[in-house]
Amino acid sequence: MNILVCISYVPDTAAKISTIADGSALQLDGVKYILNPYDEFAIEEALRQREKHGGTVVALTVGSESAKEILRTALAMGADRAAIVPSSSLDSFGVAVNIAAYARTMNADLVLMGRQSIDHDSFQMASTVAALLDLPSISVVSKLDISDSTVRAERDIEGGKEILEATLPIVISVQKGINEPRYPKLPDIMKAKSKPIEVVEIQTAPPRVEMFQFSVPQLKRLGKIFGDSDEEIAEFVRLLHEEAKVI
C-alpha cells in the first residue's frame, strides 16, 4: 500500500500570536513551531496501516526550510521517505493542489492527515485534496479498518459517531484517540538526521481566498466577580437569570 501522510509545521499551542500595528499582517516573529498535534496521530496511523498491509509511508509537508524538522520526526517514527514542497506562501487551496499532485505522482492508495492544522483550524484539507483527486474522503476519523480495498471508519459527529464504508484509494483525516503515537527512539532520531529529504517542485495555483485584515479580538467581558458567601452566590445566579437571561 502506498501511504502518503501530510503533516504541517504550526505555532506551538501556547505561542502568542499578534498582528503588526496596522493589522495588515500577522506578527509571528519569535514564535516556536511544532509538528501539528493531530498529525502525530496521522503518522502513527500510516505506520500501523503499513504494518498490516505492507507498503511504503511517505511524509510530505508544504512549508519553509525549517519545516524539515517535522519530516525528521516522521522519519524517526518510521516513515520510509520524506518530501517537502518548499513554499510558505500558498493559501489552503494551493497547499491542497500540491498535496494532490504529489499523491498522484506516488500513486497513493491512502492519504492521511490530522483533522485540522491548529494554525488556521479550517478542517478543509482532506475534502479539498480528495475532491482534486476525484477520490472519496472521510474527516475526523477515530477508528479505521482497511481490508483488501474496503475501508470502514468511524468518525466523530455532534452527539455521536458515524460508521462509514468506502473504497481505496481514499483521503482520511484523523482525530485524537485513533491510536497512541509512538515516541521515536534515540538511535532512530540520530539516523533520521542524515536521511535525504526530497524537494518537490512547487505547483503554482492562484489563491482563491484573501485574508486582508488581522486583529486581536477583545476578550474583555463584564468581569463581575463575587466571593463565595450565600448572598453572593444568590446574586451570581440572579444575574445569570435576570441580566444575562441565560438560565
* Stretch 116-155 residues interacting with other proteins (CB under 8 A): 118-128, 130-132, 135-140, 151, 155
Residue 197 sits in the site that holds other proteins (CB under 8 A): no
φ and ψ at 7, to 5 degrees?
-130, 155
Q: Which residue has the cell 522519519?
A: 75
> Is 112 near other proteins (CB under 8 A)?
no
DSSP reduced 3-state for 143 = strand
Asked if residue 13 binds other proteins (CB under 8 A), the reply is: yes
2-6 and 110-114 beta bridge pairing: parallel
- Check residue 231 for interaction with other proteins (CB under 8 A): no
Of 78-86, 104-112, 187-195, 213-221, the segment contacting other proteins by CB under 8 A is: 213-221
Angle between helices 92-105 and 125-133 in degrees, nearest 10: 50
User: Of 217, 214, 233, 213, whose CA–CA distance to 225 is shortest?
Assistant: 233
Examine residue 216 and tell whether it contacts other proteins (CB under 8 A). Answer: yes
Site string for other proteins, 25-44 (x = CB under 8 A): -x----------xx------
What's the 3-state SS for 96-129? HHHHHHHHHHCCCCEEEEECCCCCCCCCCHHHHH
Q: Which is nearer to other proteins, 17 or 190 (CB)?
A: 17
Would strands 170-174 and 137-147 be described as parallel, antiparallel, or unpaired?
A: parallel
Q: Which three cell numbers stand for residue 34?
A: 511544532
Q: Is 86 in the site for other proteins (CB under 8 A)?
A: no
Q: How far is the CB of 32 from other proteins (least distance, A)?
A: 13
Owner of C-alpha cell 518548499: 86
Q: How far is the CB of 106 from other proteins (least distance, A)?
A: 20
Q: Which stretch binds other proteins (CB under 8 A): 43-51, 62-70, 183-191, 225-233?
A: 225-233
The DSSP 8-state label assigned to residue 148 in this structure reads T
Q: Tell me if 20 contacts other proteins by CB under 8 A.
A: no
Is residue 55 involved in binding other proteins (CB under 8 A)? no
Question: How many residues make contact with other proteins (CB under 8 A)?
Answer: 85
Closest contact distance (angstroms) between CB of 233 and other proteins is 5
190 vs 240 by CB, closer to other proteins: 240
Cite the DSSP H helix spans in 8-124.
37-53, 68-77, 92-105
